[in-house]
Amino acid sequence: MNISLTVNGETYEREVEPRMLLSDFLRHELGLTGTHVGCEHGVCGACTILFDGDPVRSCLMFAVQANGHEVMTVEGLAEDMDDLHPLQEAFWETHGLQCGFCTPGFLLTLLPFLEENADPSEDEIREAISGNLCRCTGYQHIVDSARLAAEKMREG
């Protein structure tokens, strides 16, 4: 099937088999390997992307379903290494990652959450990231990162 979609502001057209998962499409067809693939059944959250602005599991959608829609991946967060998004800066500064495998999913889960909740409590943050697994940090530093990011985003 021929599909056309927007990823990080750029339009792509590709021919895909219906069975190709959106996560695999982003990685293998578009070379956007920032979207990580963990469990492939919707449990780990590593493949979280924004689909028309909402965080979803890209392993639980087919690429053909993205036809005509807008996707944002972790590559869309910053222009380059010297101009990170405040959310990325916050993760860097508070050690919100160790191996980094889960990080893209956390970032894209937190982005719309922090845009809607300028000053979330720790409980609200933990609820927001409950669908993302991290095997390194024990989550404490991720919660710290989210709080710092909220502060940075409030200041603009």
Regarding 55 and contact with another protein (CB under 8 A), the answer is: yes
- Whether the CB-CB separation of 70 and 52 falls below 8 Å is answered with yes
Hey, what amino acid is at 47?
C
Regarding 60 and contact with another protein (CB under 8 A), the answer is: yes
- Where b means 16+ CB within 10 Å and e means fewer, 62-78 reads bbbebeeeebbbbbbbe
Q: How far apart are the two ends of the chain, measured CA to CA in Å?
A: 42
How many positions of this chain bind another protein (CB under 8 A)?
31
Q: Binding to another protein (CB under 8 A): which residues in 108-147?
A: 109, 113, 126-128, 130-131
Q: Compute the distance between CA of residue 155 and CA of residue 18 in angstroms, rounded to an integer.
A: 44
Mask 15-34, x = binds another protein (CB under 8 A)? --xxxxx--x----------
- Whether the CB-CB separation of 120 and 129 falls below 8 Å is answered with no
Stretch that binds another protein, among 62-70, 76-84, 86-94, 142-150 (CB under 8 A): 62-70
Regarding 44 and contact with another protein (CB under 8 A), the answer is: no
33: CB partners within 8 A, 6+ apart:
27
Relative orientation angle of helices 86-93 and 103-116, to the nearest 10 degrees: 120
State in angstroms the smallest separation of the CB of 57 from another protein. 6
State in angstroms the smallest separation of the CB of 55 from another protein. 5
Among 6, 8, 33, 65, binds another protein (CB under 8 A): 65
Q: What is the contact surface with another protein in residues (CB under 8 A)?
A: 1, 17-21, 24, 40-42, 45, 48, 51, 54-57, 59-62, 64-65, 67, 109, 113, 126-128, 130-131
